[in-house]
Amino acid sequence: MPFHVEEADNRLMTQLTVYTDAENPETLLETEDAEDITATLKEIDVRLRQWEVIEALTSGGSQEEILAAYREEVARVVAEEGYTFVDVAQLHPDGTPEWAEKARGAREKFLNEHTHDDDEVRFFVGGSGIFYLHVSGKVYAVLCEPGDLLSVPKNTTHWFDMGTRPDFTAIRFFHDDDGWVGDFTGDPVSSRIPDYDSTVARRAARHQG
C-alpha cells in the first residue's frame, strides 16, 4: 500500500530504490509500498514516519509560519531527541535567471557524498527531494514527499538531490546551533546513480504506462 493516495495534482509519492554501488549500478529494489520502505530502511537504522500535511503550506511560507503550524510535531521530536536548533530550508522556482543560478549552486552543495556528525532529520512540508544513503555497498534512494519525516543516524554517508528545478520546503533538526555542517568524502559514487530528474521521469512513465 502506498503511504498516501495519489492526488489529481500529480504530487509525488514516497518511493525507495536500492542500487548496488558498483561502477555499473544494478537496481535491487524499487517500491512505493509503505511497509516495504519502512522495513528496508529499518535494516540500516533509518526511520521514515509520516505527519499530517498542512495543505496551505505545501507551496512554502515563512519560517515562522511553518514552525508555528507544525509546533506540536516539532516539539515532540525536539523533546524525544534533544535537538537544540530547528530551521526551515526551502527553494521554489520564481522564473528569474538569478533563481536558476541560485538553484544550481544549492543543488551542487548537497550533490556530493558527505557525512554529518549529527543526525539528519528532515520533515517535508512541501515539494520533494531524494536522499541517497550509501551503506554497506548499497545506495538507498529515498524520494521524500510532503508529510515524510526522515531520520538518518549521524555519520551515515549520503547525498541529496533536489533536481534541476528545485521546489521543496523542509524542516531541519540539529543538535548543534551551527546548523548544516558537511564532511565531504570525495567518493564520486553520486555521479553514477540515477539522479532526481531521471528517477522522477522514470516513475511518471511507469505510472502512465
Ligand X SMILES: CSCCC(=O)/C(O)=C/O
Instruction: Decide: 73 and 51 in contact? Cβ < 8 Å.
Output: yes
Site string for Ni ion, 29-68 (x = CB under 5 A): ---x------------------------------------
Q: Which does 123 bind (CB under 5 to 8 A by kind): Ni ion, Fe ion, ligand X, none?
A: none
Q: Which does 57 bind (CB under 5 to 8 A by kind): Fe ion, ligand X, Ni ion, none?
A: none
Query: CA-based angle 110:199:102, to the nearest 5?
Result: 35
Grid cell, residue 62, equals 515563512
Contact call for residue 134 and ligand X (CB under 6 A): no
- Residue 207 labelled as part of a binding site: no
Grid cell, residue 186, equals 570525495
Task: State which residue, 21 or 120, has the beta carbon closest to Fe ion.
Answer: 120
In the numeric block, the cell 516495504 is attached to 36
Task: State which residue, 4 or 114, has the beta carbon closest to ligand X.
Answer: 114
Shortest CB 205 distance to ligand X, Å: 25
Site string for ligand X, 83-122 (x = CB under 6 A): ------x--------------------x---------x-x
* C-alpha–C-alpha distance, residues 129 and 121, integer Å: 14
Q: Which does 180 bind (CB under 5 to 8 A by kind): ligand X, Ni ion, Fe ion, none?
A: ligand X
Phi, psi dihedrals of residue 176, rounded to the nearest 5°: -120, 130
* C-alpha–C-alpha distance, residues 119 and 116, integer Å: 7
Shortest CB 182 distance to Fe ion, Å: 6
* C-alpha–C-alpha distance, residues 80 and 69, integer Å: 19
* C-alpha–C-alpha distance, residues 199 and 19, integer Å: 12
Please report, as ranges, the residues that interact with ligand X according to CB under 6 A: 89, 110, 120, 122, 129, 158, 160, 170, 172, 180
